[in-house]
Amino acid sequence: MAVTTQDQQHGLTAHSHGAGVPVSSRADHFASFDVAAFEVPGGREEIWRFTPMKRLANLHNGALATAVAAVDVSAPEGVRVETVAKGDDRLGVAGTPGDRIAAQAWTSFTDATVVTLPKDTKVGPTTVTITGPGVGEVAYGHLQVRAEQFAEGVVVLDHRGSGAYADNVEFVVGDGAHLTVVAIQDWADDAVHVSSHHTKLGQDATLRHTVISLGGDLVRITPVVTYAGRGGDAELLGLYFADAGQHLEHRPFIDHAQPNCRSNVVYKGALQGDDAHTVWIGDVLIRAAAEGTETFELNRNLVLTDGARADSVPNLEIETGEIEGAGHASATGRFDDEQLFYLQARGIPEEQARRLVVRGFFHEILLKISVPEVRERLEAAIEAELEAVGA
């Protein structure tokens, strides 16, 4: 078990550091729409060093699409759903692929789905169900969610099924819009999913982005948030539960380049079973122009059994002293036996006490999922995970 613990509050002087000091500034991170512009990664590169490359189904090494992933959208009235060709000039505006697999997905997808929440309107939940291409198959995809000016709504991305799937998901959040996203990775055991989420957040816009990763052999999600104007507010939440053999990796990056914006990142994970592996790399960059920024990022991991490994690396780079506040915290620990003793001392059997504690651990994330059906489904899924190991 790897244990990384940091609790720090950053003050007013510009500096940069992390559990592993970045090789270079996050600002210098290479990005391109052209897959050929990226070298095939070998696994020693900073952004790949935690990922088991052999299990990527060659997504990083030019794997051709052999099938498609079905995309079904269930949307309330008023929400526009389109299938568009690659040439649609709205695509790609929220961000540029930052690694070879994202660039490969951009190069390889044929049709993109565009979901638009109309301006000045509050709409009910939209669910986008993405079903993997099937065992042994490879597919690439592209999805764009647009929340127009002052739009308000929830979009659930529900990933299911088998196979290898790489995609880019764009969130284009207009000025003053409120977009809530819940991305659920509930894949079958064989699935490989590598996904980059690109958010462009307009002036005074709000994004609440929740990633839930439960199923799949290898899941690697890279949510990137950029701000297009002042007053943007991004909350990135994550909940993951890794069982034996699973690799679940989350790499949120908040790029503060506009003044007076906020970000708050909270990811919580539980691990159980041999070779359950989770990775959390949380990057926050506050550029010189981003005065008045307020940001905090936190990652907590709960290791339930021996043989599991959690890597957690928060990186905070600050290029201006004129900020409201910035901090990060990361802690990975075993089950707290004192909590267990306390609950048991009140007559609660051990197994039930463990479940109470784990449920409590995830509570603050689940509480913020505003769609009741989704929250209930996730609570049930977590119960099932706990039952599987008898924790």
Partner 1 sequence: MATLEIKDLHVSVTADETSKEILKGVDLTIKSGETHAIMGPNGSGKSTLSYAIAGHPKYQITSGSVTLDGEDVLEMSVDERARAGLFLAMQYPVEVPGVSMSNFLRTAATAVRGEAPNLRHWVKEVKGAMADLDIDPAFAERSVNEGFSGGEKKRHEILQLGLLKPKIAILDETDSGLDVDALRVVSEGVNRYKESGEAGVMLITHYTRILKYIEPDFVHVFANGRIVESGGRELADQLEEQGYVKYTGNQEAATVA
> Nearest approach, Cβ of 177 to partner 1 (angstroms)?
31
Our finding on whether 320 is near partner 1 (CB under 8 A) is no
Give the nearest distance from C-beta 344 to partner 1 in angstroms: 4
How would you classify the pairing of strands 277-286 and 309-318? parallel
| Shortest spacing between CB 240 and partner 1, in angstroms | 16
For partner 1, the closer CB: 21 or 367? 367
Q: Which of 84, 344, 371, 381 binds partner 1 (CB under 8 A)?
A: 344
Helices (H), the chain: 100-108, 337-344, 350-366, 372-389
Interaction of residue 360 with partner 1, rule CB under 8 A? yes
Residue 241 found at the interface with partner 1 (CB under 8 A): no
Cα 77–chain centre separation: 28
Separation CA 209–CA 207 (nearest Å): 6
CB-wise, 3 or 343, nearer to partner 1? Answer: 343
342 belongs to the binding site for partner 1 (CB under 8 A): yes
Q: Which stretch binds partner 1 (CB under 8 A): 52-60, 199-207, 280-288, 345-353?
A: 345-353
Q: Closest Cα partner for 194 from 111, 265, 133, 250?
A: 250
**Please, what's the b/e burial string for 350-372 (b: 16 or more CB within 10 A of its CB; e: otherwise)?**
eeebbbebbeebbeebbeebebe
Any contact of residue 44 with partner 1 (CB under 8 A)? Answer: no
Q: How far is the CB of 142 from partner 1 (least distance, A)?
A: 37
Report how many residues bind partner 1 under the rule CB under 8 A.
24
Q: How many residues does this entry show for the chain?
A: 391
- Least gap, CB of 47 to partner 1 (angstroms): 33
For partner 1, give the closer residue by CB, 42 or 360: 360
337 near partner 1 (CB under 8 A): yes
* Of the residues 70, 257, 348, 371, which one makes contact with partner 1 according to CB under 8 A: 348
Note whether 301 and 268 are within 8 A (CB).
yes
Beta strands 309-318 and 16-18, pairing class: antiparallel
Helix (H, G, I), strand (E, B) or coil at 254: strand
Among 175, 188, 339, 381, binds partner 1 (CB under 8 A): 339
Q: How far is the CB of 266 from partner 1 (least distance, A)?
A: 13
Token reading at 347:
């007559």
Q: Which is nearer to partner 1, 14 or 356 (CB)?
A: 356
Q: Does 357 bind partner 1 (CB under 8 A)?
A: yes
Q: Does 333 bind partner 1 (CB under 8 A)?
A: no
Segment interacting with partner 1 (CB under 8 A) among 202-210, 220-228, 354-362, 381-389: 354-362
* Cα dihedral: 213, 293, 368, 220 (round 10): 0
Tokens of 379: 């609570």
**Owner of token pair 């290791």:** 303
Binds partner 1 (CB under 8 A): choice among 47, 356, 381, 389: 356
Burial (CB count <10 Å: 0-12, 13-18, 19+), residue 36: exposed
As a whole number of angstroms, the distance between CA 321 and CA 333 comes to 33
The interface region with partner 1, picked from 25-33, 128-136, 152-160, 343-351 by CB under 8 A, is 343-351
Smallest Cα–Cα separation from 122: which of 82, 159, 76, 58? Answer: 76
**Exposed (0-12), middle (13-18) or buried (19+): which is 249, by Cβ within 10 Å?**
buried
Choose the binding region for partner 1 from 27-35, 91-99, 141-149, 355-363 (rule: CB under 8 A). 355-363
Binder to partner 1 among 244, 343, 371, 381 (CB under 8 A)?
A: 343
Is the Cβ–Cβ distance between 147 and 180 less than 8 Å? no
Question: In the bound complex, what is the minimum distance in angstroms from residue 360's beta carbon to partner 1?
Answer: 3
**Whole-angstrom distance, CA of residue 376 vs CA of residue 362:** 13
| Structure tokens belonging to residue 212 | 């839930």
User: Where along the sequence are the contacts to partner 1 (CB under 8 A)?
Assistant: 336-339, 341-350, 352-353, 356-357, 359-364
